[in-house]
Amino acid sequence: MLTENKTKMEGKNAENSKKKGGGGRKRDDSDSDDERSGAAASSLTSSSGNSGGGSGGGGGGGSTFDLEATKTKMAAVVERLKKALSGLHVGRASPSMLEHVPVTLVTTATDGGSAAEEGSSSGSSSNTVPLQALAAVTARNANTLVVTPFDPSPSTAASITAALRLPPLRLDARLERSGELVVPVPRATPEAVAALAKLARAEAEAARVAVRAARKDANSAARSKDFSEDARRKNEKAVQAAADEFAKKVDAALAAKEADLAAV
C-alpha cells in the first residue's frame, strides 16, 4: 500500500512538473511574441526614420528649390518652339519643315534582327521618333528637299515616306537608287498654308505640354516638407506665375507664325 501511494505521489509530481513546464513554454512563447512585436515596432520606427530621411533627402532637393532654374527650363522650351516655327515656310523648301515630323518606324527580323533584339515575339516592333533622328534633311533647291536615311533599309524609307504623306504636310517622296528620298515642296496654296498652320499649332501644343511638365517638377520641389505651409503656398504661386508667363510666350510665338502664314 505504501509503495502504491508513493507511486501515485510521484505520478502527480511528474504531472505537475509537466504542466509547469508547459506553462513555462507558453510564457516563453508569449515572451517571444512580445520580443517579435518589439522588434517589429523597432523596425517600423527605423523604417520611418529612414523614410523620413529619404523624405528629408527629397526635401533637401526641395529645400534647394530654384525658381530661376525652372524659368530657364521653360525658356528653353520657348526657344525650341521658335526655332521649329521658323522652319515653317510657305513656297520655300526648308529642312526644318520635316525634321520634327513624327515617324513610326517598323523594324522586322529582316532588318538586321532589330526586332529580335527588342524582344518582339512577333518578329516586328514599332517606335515613333522625329524624322531628324532617322535621317538628314537638306534643301536641293527652293522647292525640293532631300531626305537621306541613316539606315538604308527599305523599311526605314517606307516609314518615312508614309509619315510625309500624312496630314498636315501630305508630301510625296520619291525613292532614288542612291537611297535618298526626294521630296517636292508645293508652291504656296491655301491648302499648303493650312497644313503649315496646323503643324505650327501642333508644335505649340507640344511646347505647352513641356512647360506643364516643368511646372509639375518644380511643384514637387516646392511642396517639400522642409518648407512651412506658407512657404509651400508661396513657392507654388511663384511656379504657377512662371508657367503662365511662358505659356503666354508660347501663344505669342504661335500667333506670330499664324499671322506670317496668313500674310502669304
DSSP sequence for 139-179: EEETTEEEEEESS--HHHHHHHHHHHHSTTT----EE-TTS
Provide the CATH number for the domain formed by 97-185 in this structure.
3.30.1360.40
Among residues 100, 77, 106, which one has the least CA distance to residue 169? 100
Domain limits, CATH 1.10.132.20, in the chain: 62-91+189-264
pLDDT score for 196: 85
**CATH dotted code for 62-91+189-264:** 1.10.132.20
CB atoms within 10 A of CB 204: 20
Question: Which of 101, 94, 91 lies closest to 161, judged by CA?
Answer: 101
What's the pTM? 0.51
Any idea what the Cα angle at residue 96 is, between residues 137 and 114, rounded to 5°? 50
> CB neighbours of 1 closer than 8 A, spacing ≥ 6?
none
Q: What is the pLDDT of residue 13?
A: 52
Per-residue pLDDT of 46-60, as tens digits, reads 333 333 333 333 333
| Comma-separated ranges of CATH 3.30.1360.40 domains in the chain | 97-185
Confidence at residue 44, expressed as pLDDT on a 0 to 100 scale:
30
Q: Distance (Å, rounded) from C-alpha 106 to C-alpha 114?
A: 10
What pLDDT is stored for residue 1 in this prediction?
A: 45
pLDDT for the residue numbered 100: 83
Q: Which residues of the chain have pLDDT under 50?
A: 1-7, 17-63, 111-122
Predicted pLDDT of residue 224: 77
**Alpha carbons 229 and 217: distance in angstroms, whole number:** 19
pLDDT given for residue 183 in this prediction = 95
Cα separation of 46 and 30, whole Å?
24
pLDDT at 131: 93
